[in-house]
């Protein structure tokens, strides 16, 4: 049996049995592979790094989407940068009265995900509330004059094509696209093995926003421990919404979830001390 050996982090490997290669092709932008694993079901990798799996994607995407939307409480427009697998879009479509713009640079990721991993997007790409834009996310936010309540940066790790989605200029352009009281959420990897990336994002976002932190979720296919989502906003009250209000919003939204609860939402912002120590901002 073939073995998929992810070596994203120096000295740490994730080895997955490959029961069947469903699809593999090096696109103009990335080396994309979809294969079947006995524990995770279908797995999508880009440039040798696991991006999403059928079995645990719900954790990643539920926490990406429902935390900012229920914290904000009045979201009508969301921008997703990346997210070509459609998982974030699927979770967003659970919310009523919402319009979503999804910008991804690689159409092939979207088409292959729709064809081979349809449960991840769950028909979101066919929802009329979704505006799909094939474009460079950096260029898009630099040039648009539209505004969104929440911006979700569902990027790959800061290597190769995804590296520009962690720059100060990109974050600054994203802020210019936020409506008043808007929230930016980022994918910031696994702090235990990606400390420098966490600290860099913290410093850059911290130079632009008054309320910057991270919240956590454990995603089995991401090696090294809990994963961090970056949170950036100029309205600290969004992060401090009471459990009672979160529960009220969750019930009113009527969204089905398998990981997210209002209690998990609140607890996710309680950072272990070793991660707090990483977040000493440079002035």
Q: State yes or no: is 154 an active-site residue.
A: yes
Q: Phi then psi for 277, rounded to 5 degrees?
A: -70, -25
Closest-CA residue to 28 (of 104, 106, 91, 92): 106
Where on the phi/psi map is residue 47: left (φ > 0), alpha (ψ -120 to 50), or beta?
A: left
How many Å apart are CA 136 and CA 113, to the nearest integer?
19
Catalytic member of 104, 149, 154, 157 = 154
SS3 label, residue 137 = helix
SS3 74: coil
Q: How far, in Å, CA of 180 to CA of 266, rounded?
A: 23
CA distance 258 to 240: 23
- CA-to-CA distance for 86 and 74, rounded, in angstroms? 23
User: Which tokens is 229 given?
Assistant: 């989502």
Is residue 19 a contact partner of residue 93, using CB atoms and an 8 Å limit? no
SS3 for 87? helix
Dihedral, CA of residue 44, residue 49, residue 52 and residue 55, to nearest 10:
90
Nearest to 216 by CA among 278, 172, 161: 278
Q: Please check whether residue 68 is in contact with residue 134, taking contact to mean a CB–CB distance below 8 angstroms.
A: no
User: Would you name the residues annotated as active-site residues?
Assistant: 154
């Amino acid at each position: 049996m073939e073995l998929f050996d992810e070596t994203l982090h120096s000295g740490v490997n994730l080895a997955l049995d490959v029961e069947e290669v469903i699809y593999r092709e090096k696109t103009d932008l990335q080396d994309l592979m979809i294969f079947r694993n006995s524990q995770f079901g279908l797995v999508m990798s880009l440039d040798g790094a696991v991006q999403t799996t059928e079995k645990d994607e719900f954790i990643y995407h539920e926490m990406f989407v429902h935390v900012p939307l229920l914290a904000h409480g009045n979201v009508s427009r969301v921008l997703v940068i990346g997210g070509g697998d459609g998982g974030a879009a699927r979770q967003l479509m659970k919310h009523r009265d919402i319009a979503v713009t999804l910008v991804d640079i690689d159409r092939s990721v979207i088409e292959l995900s729709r064809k081979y991993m349809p449960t991840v997007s769950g028909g979101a790409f066919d929802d009329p509330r979704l505006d799909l834009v094939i474009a460079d996310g950096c260029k898009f936010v630099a040039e648009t004059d539209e505004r969104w309540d929440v911006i979700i940066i569902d990027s790959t790790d800061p290597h190769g094509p995804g590296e520009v989605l962690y720059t100060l200029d990109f974050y600054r352009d994203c802020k210019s696209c936020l409506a008043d009281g808007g929230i930016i959420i980022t994918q910031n990897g696994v702090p235990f093995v990606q400390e420098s990336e966490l600290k860099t994002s913290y410093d850059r976002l911290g130079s632009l926003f008054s309320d910057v932190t991270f919240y956590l979720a454990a995603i089995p296919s991401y090696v090294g421990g809990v994963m961090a989502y970056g949170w950036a906003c100029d309205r600290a009250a969004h992060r401090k919404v009471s459990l009672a209000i979160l529960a009220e919003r969750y019930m009113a939204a009527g969204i089905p979830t398998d990981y997210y609860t209002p209690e998990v939402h609140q607890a996710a912002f309680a950072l272990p001390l070793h991660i707090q120590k990483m977040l000493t901002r440079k002035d």
